[in-house]
Amino acid sequence: MLSGIVVTAVLSATAASALTYQNVSEGYSPADKTCDYLYRTFPDITSFSNQSSYIVDNTNFWSAASVLNPACVFAPSGAEDLAIAVKALKYYGSPFAIRGGGHMPIGDSNNINSTGVLLSSSGFKRLALSPDSSTLHVGPGNHWGEVYNFLNNTGKSIVGGRLGVVGIPGFITGGGISFFSWKYGWSSANIASVTGVIASGEVVTATPDNDFSDLFWALRGGGNSFALITEFEMITIPAPVVTVGTTSYGTTNLTMERWLDAIYNFALYGGEDCHECTVTPSASTGTQYPNGTTYTAMQFFDGNDTAPPALSNWTSPYLNATSDTFAATTMTEWSQSGLAQFDSIHGLRNRFHVLSTYADRRALQIIHDTFFAFVPIHLSSLQTYIATLTPMPISKQYFRASKVRGGDPMDLDPEDGPHIWYEMSVLYTVERDEEYVSAFLQAVDEEVKKMLAAEGIKQPKYLYLNDADKGQPVFEGYPAENVRKLKQIRHKYDPEMVFTNQMPGGWKVAHA
């Protein structure tokens, strides 16, 4: 292990100012050489497997599949230090990954094995309101719960994640669905500036109208091929009180039919009639659900109203609740309430897979029935699992609200809506079950597409990046001209493809 060499080097008091790329240990892998250089230069923020800071950054993920044991972890708190690391990684040719909040369940999207270096955003914890409170500076090491907590009692909020445990940089660079999105658009539509390190090692700040406006546009949904983020400047919105909660409806066939009807109707009318309203339905089954598939919904209203007309289909007498927490609160209180749920699944493995349809009641039924019919066929041998289908109704208004500040790479046409985006997820316990989960998700995807085609039901090409599974053709669903533009921007800021080839995780526009 290189750590012993590094310790020896540090104990010999090699001055950081005297370090060069050439005087690190020879004969070791690119990752080990990079770790040696970083540890001798930044001993306090470079850690190895026997150190507590390494253990936290290597294990604190949404999915245990992301625990990959990198050669070392580098956790800077300043952009210039991250820039030095990028230059060292380039020089030695070491593979690397960068982690934000760790929510993406695809292992190599936010970690790397011992062949590479993990760059952790955990040191970038800045939270600061502008003097007029119109924007909030947010470091990528925060989670949304920390952001909402910082804004508590200010009367302000931001267009951030629906759950407090979700991280920030990957969420925004994938677009980002918020409770507030039906009024304000993507989370990435509500950014005033982005600061980050580009592949040359230069620290730049991009805005919609400065010399880096093309980079700003690319970072609004183009993924991780362009820069390593060190700060977002987010536009604040007024939200002193919200009404939000989870409602459970039971397991009957009548519940299922009315739940599907409510999704369809909200896609057509709810998001158009009430821009303050959001609903996130989900249906779950598995070893933790002995009574069968359970139907729920997260309901949201931007204000104080437990009975907005647009959400009437989600309440009694149409859908009778078996439990209900929908009540006036704050985003701080809501985001804190979900922490216990995260703790309960911490250490499990998770997979996402996404499908898209237009708002079509037949398509809803086909996807629902196929998903739950295939669960026992493919997952019954798993000792513990939870399979969840989350059909998210996305209105035309969502697309309209996103067309601000120069637009985004997805460029979804309001006239092409409304859509329904289906997140299929599976929680399970052990690595050996991965093949069963993969077979299940692939079988559902293939069967759904075959059945929709047989019914003459067309699908939009767009797939939401943040819910996609590894290998799904995300960029193929973007407008072709925007993909060409993204490739040009990638080449402009990273001609050597450092963030494509040396940082292999995530969706790379160069591969589209």
305-334 per-position pLDDT tens digit: 999 999 999 999 999 999 999 999 999 999
Q: Where are the alpha helices (DSSP H) in 95-139?
A: none
Nearest to 191 by CA among 168, 207, 171: 207
Q: Where in the chain is the domain with CATH 3.30.465.10?
A: 127-239+479-511
Considering the segment(s) 127-239+479-511 as one domain, its CATH architecture is 2-Layer Sandwich (3.30)
242-329+347-477 topology per CATH: Vanillyl-alcohol Oxidase; Chain A, domain 3 (3.40.462)
State the first-to-last Cα distance of the chain, in angstroms, to the nearest integer: 38
Measured CA to CA, the distance from residue 383 to residue 18 in angstroms comes to 56
Which residue in 24, 3, 124 sits closest to 75, CA to CA?
124
* Tokens matching residue 58: 């290597």
Residue 393, beta-bridge partner list: 420
Of 389, 375, 422, nearest to 283 by C-alpha is 389
Q: Are 389 and 372 in contact (CB under 8 A)?
A: yes
pLDDT at 240: 95
Give the relative orientation of helices 2-11 and 30-41 as an angle to the nearest 10 degrees. Answer: 30
Distance between CA atoms of 512 and 223, rounded to whole angstroms? 12
AA letter at 198: I
Q: Provide the residue type at 340 as one letter.
A: A
Instruction: Specify whether the CB–CB gap between 465 and 456 falls below 8 A.
Output: no
Backbone angles phi, psi at 205, to 5 degrees: -120, 125
- Which parts of the chain have pLDDT scores under 70? 1-27
Residue pair 219/194 in contact (Cβ under 8 Å)? The answer is yes
- Report the distance separating Cα 349 and Cα 66, nearest Å: 9
Q: 183 CB contacts (<8 Å, ≥6 apart)?
A: 275, 276, 302, 397, 401
From 89, 408, 157, select the one nearest 302 (Cα to Cα). 157
Around Cβ 284, how many Cβ atoms within 10 Å? 18
pTM: 0.94
Q: What is the pLDDT of residues 226-275, one digit of tens each?
A: 999 999 999 999 999 999 999 999 999 999 999 999 999 999 999 899 99
Dihedral sign for Cα 231, 232, 233, 239, please.
negative
Q: Where in the chain is the domain with CATH 3.30.43.10?
A: 2-120
Sign of CA dihedral 54, 60, 62, 63: positive
CATH number of 2-120: 3.30.43.10
CATH 3.40.462.20 placement within the chain: 242-329+347-477
Cα–Cα distance for residue pair 72/4, rounded to 1 Å:
13
* Pairing verdict, β 156-158 and 228-238: antiparallel
The three-point CA angle 481-487-489 to 5° equals 105
What distance in Å separates the CA atoms of residue 502 and residue 94, rounded to the nearest whole number?
A: 7
